[in-house]
Chain A
Amino acid sequence: MTLTVDDVKRIADLAYIEINEDEAHAALTQLSGIFGLIESMQAVDASNVEPMSHAQSVTQRLREDTVTEMDQRELFQSIAPDVEAGLYLVPKVIE
């Protein structure tokens, strides 16, 4: 598999990380090396193996649908970059 600078820019765009031309080129070199390492996986045939997503095969616990958290909005918003009247402020999304 060969990565291109455009691939790197597309991935950075998907990941919401701003990246300039120099950074994209530097990232390309490093990511290509890392994917070279990762590529050794493809030599092994695992077509009949069940994927293992977790160390323990446990099922998700269920609980009663009751309130378990108390309201701590003021505490949590005290560390937010920008709040007003209990709301998190972000740039206007809808014109």
Chain B
Amino acid sequence: MLNASLKQLSAQLAQKKISSVELTTECLDRIKRLNPEYNAFITVNEEMSLAQAQAADAMIASGQSGPLTGIPVAQKDIFCAKGWLTTCGSKMLSNFVSPYDAGVIERFNAAGAVNIGKTNMDEFAMGSSNETSYFGFVRNPWDINAVPGGSSGGAACAVAARLAPAATGTDTGGSIRQPAALCGISGIKPTYGLVSRYGMIAFASSLDQGGPMAKSAEDLAMLLNVMVGFDVRDSTSLQRDVEDYAGELQKPLHGLRIGLPKEYFAAGMSSEVELAVTNALEEFRKLGAQTIEVSLPNVPLSIPVYYVLAPAEASSNLSRFDGVRYGHRAESYTDLADMYRKSRAQGFGAEVKRRILIGTYVLSHGYYDAYYIKAQKLRRLIAQDFADAYQQCDVIMGPTTPTVAFNLGEKSGDPIQMYLSDIYTSAANLTGMPAMSIPVGFGEKKRPIGLHLIGNYFREAQLLNIAHQYQQVTDWHVQSPV
């Protein structure tokens, strides 16, 4: 069952060849055996998972089941789940048992999916290697000396190591796509506004978007069908007609115009990544697609723009953590302000503090126009570049990351090097466009390589179609390190 697709698992569950309790137990056993090494999960709760599995089996028995009923899904520890410890990878929330469910969790629960555990992540989703987690780093199952990427590193590891058939992630600057690439799995960040942010602990609200992580594009389509939907409790949730994200999977790629931004193919990516991407593009040409060069002249600004806007929004969002209503409170303090200062100094790790300081500075009096407003103006120029490019092409492709997974500890002391991991991914957050990563090969030490696909707004079904057609003629996505 470990390597089965969601469609296969769903069929076996519906035909009662396996039960959800059996499937859930198998995942829990693997987690128990392998998680001490990988550290992909922060919290596992066998009792709660098995209770959901039993309920799912009852749903199936009564003929009330849907495609994900009984399927175990690893939930990133950024999604509040009622009765579950929900830490966001932080000491600040290391004692936070959520009193409510996030919109995404509600939707999985309603579909009868099983929460198989809460996955490890960079603290408050701020990181690209999963090394900023208060609960320790996660290992890459392809090479245990390598990082899994981040911030959804636990999710990517869990799927790659076959600890769970599917997982959720969130993506503010690349946090679904970069770990998916480094762990050799598939992941999609939908158009901003499609997946509810209610109960998804906020990092940078205008950029944050939840999405699925799984083995294949076909699996992602099934997960997206459950995750996407209007939520009145999220003020930027979009009200749209229900769409079947698997609806276009079988469409041939004849005539597809793939835009290759010259800025993404300029110097910067390693030769092994370049080779894998080139080979993947050749495969798309064989499938009938054509490639054309496009230009995104302002896209090299996405990292500086991102590192103004994301910390600015984070400094505001994280002001709620004050040790009053929930979360960590310092043991001793002199007055209220001292309680805030000590609680926050103790509760936040170094990277989170760094970003709060950047954000506080760029929003402070005298600097607001020069940094924050300037970054918002450049954000529009970047979005305009993409709009212009989509006049000439249907999808944009390039590498997801400049290199394969780096070693644990290699970049953790150098924030700027770490930030540059998101060089290809952050533009899709700034513009709000859907983007995904799929495995297209391996580099040195069998570390995986990802291809990045950026689509126009609301073209998730097309992205999944393109990825699915590629996965019909290649086998990178079915390879596993275990």
Q: Residues of A at under 8 Å CB distance from B? A: 7-8, 11-12, 14-19, 27, 30-31, 33-35, 37-42, 44, 46, 49-56, 58, 60-61, 63, 72, 75-76, 78-82, 88, 90-93
The CA of A63 and the CA of B235, in the complex, are separated in Å by: 11
The CA of A80 and the CA of B327, in the complex, are separated in Å by: 7
Q: Is the CB of A58 within 8 A of B238?
A: yes
Q: Is the CB of B379 within 8 A of A52?
A: yes
Known contacts A33-B416, A46-B381; 9 further A-B pairs (Cβ under 8 A): A15-B315, A15-B344, A17-B356, A35-B358, A40-B301, A41-B301, A55-B206, A61-B232, A88-B325
What is the CB-to-nearest-CB distance from A1 to chain B, in angstroms, rounded to a whole number?
8
Contact among B232, B304, B431 with A55 in the assembled complex (CB-CB below 8 Å):
B431
- Residues of B near A50 (CB, < 8 A) are 377, 380
The CA of A56 and the CA of B415, in the complex, are separated in Å by: 30
What residue in chain B is nearest A43 (Cβ atoms)? Answer: B301
Q: Is the CB of A54 within 8 A of B377?
A: no
Q: Is the CB of A81 within 8 A of B307?
A: no
10 A-B pairs with CB atoms under 8 Å apart are: A15-B315, A17-B353, A27-B353, A27-B354, A38-B307, A44-B298, A46-B374, A53-B206, A55-B432, A58-B238
Q: Is the CB of A18 within 8 A of B329?
A: no
What is the CB-to-nearest-CB distance from A36 to chain B, in angstroms, rounded to a whole number?
8
What residue in chain A is nearest B431 (Cβ atoms)? Answer: A55
Among A42, A44, A80, the one with the most B-chain Cβ atoms within 10 Å of its Cβ is A44
What is the CB-to-nearest-CB distance from B85 to chain A, in angstroms, rounded to a whole number?
11
Encoded as 1 (CB less than 8 Å from any A CB) or 0, chain B from 292 to 311 comes to 00000010010111011000
- Residues of B near A16 (CB, < 8 A) are 319, 322, 337, 340-341, 344
Contact among A19, A37, A60 with B304 in the assembled complex (CB-CB below 8 Å):
A37
The CA of A19 and the CA of B341, in the complex, are separated in Å by: 9
The CA of A35 and the CA of B361, in the complex, are separated in Å by: 10
- From DSSP, what is the main secondary structure of chain B's interface residues? helix
What is the CB-to-nearest-CB distance from A9 to chain B, in angstroms, rounded to a whole number?
10
Q: Is the CB of A41 within 8 A of B305?
A: yes
Q: Is the CB of B308 within 8 A of A41?
A: yes
Q: Is the CB of B360 within 8 A of A38?
A: no
Q: Is the CB of A27 within 8 A of B357?
A: yes
- From DSSP, what is the main secondary structure of chain A's interface residues? loop
Q: Is the CB of A11 within 8 A of B360?
A: yes
Encoded as 1 (CB less than 8 Å from any A CB) or 0, chain B from 340 to 353 comes to 11101100100001
Q: Is the CB of A49 within 8 A of B357?
A: no
B96 part of interface (Cβ distance < 8 Å): yes
- Residues of A near B298 (CB, < 8 A) are 44
Given A44-B381, A58-B238, A91 and B333 contact (CB-CB distance below 8 Å): yes
The CA of A51 and the CA of B368, in the complex, are separated in Å by: 12
The CA of A60 and the CA of B307, in the complex, are separated in Å by: 26
- Residues of B near A27 (CB, < 8 A) are 353-354, 357
Encoded as 1 (CB less than 8 Å from any A CB) or 0, chain B from 320 to 346 comes to 001111110100011111111110110
How many residues on B have C-beta within 8 angstroms of the other chain's C-beta atoms? 70
What is the CB-to-nearest-CB distance from B438 to chain A, in angstroms, rounded to a whole number?
23
- Residues of B near A12 (CB, < 8 A) are 357
The CA of A59 and the CA of B432, in the complex, are separated in Å by: 16
The CA of A35 and the CA of B206, in the complex, are separated in Å by: 22
The CA of A90 and the CA of B298, in the complex, are separated in Å by: 48
The CA of A77 and the CA of B356, in the complex, are separated in Å by: 27
- Residues of A near B334 (CB, < 8 A) are 91
- Residues of A near B341 (CB, < 8 A) are 16-18
Q: Is the CB of A11 within 8 A of B357?
A: yes
- Residues of B near A49 (CB, < 8 A) are 377-378, 380-381
Among A44, A46, A52, A93, the one with the most B-chain Cβ atoms within 10 Å of its Cβ is A52
What is the CB-to-nearest-CB distance from A38 to chain B, in angstroms, rounded to a whole number?
5
The CA of A72 and the CA of B98, in the complex, are separated in Å by: 13
B419 part of interface (Cβ distance < 8 Å): yes
B424 part of interface (Cβ distance < 8 Å): no
- Residues of B near A54 (CB, < 8 A) are 192, 206, 236, 432
What residue in chain A is nearest B99 (Cβ atoms)? Answer: A75
The CA of A63 and the CA of B432, in the complex, are separated in Å by: 26
The CA of A39 and the CA of B362, in the complex, are separated in Å by: 12
B64 part of interface (Cβ distance < 8 Å): no
Q: Is the CB of A42 within 8 A of B315?
A: no
The CA of A56 and the CA of B429, in the complex, are separated in Å by: 11
The CA of A58 and the CA of B191, in the complex, are separated in Å by: 14
Q: Is the CB of A18 within 8 A of B342?
A: yes
Q: Is the CB of A46 within 8 A of B235?
A: no
B375 part of interface (Cβ distance < 8 Å): yes
What is the CB-to-nearest-CB distance from A30 to chain B, in angstroms, rounded to a whole number?
6
The CA of A92 and the CA of B335, in the complex, are separated in Å by: 7
The CA of A41 and the CA of B360, in the complex, are separated in Å by: 18
The CA of A38 and the CA of B374, in the complex, are separated in Å by: 11
- Residues of B near A44 (CB, < 8 A) are 298, 301, 378, 381
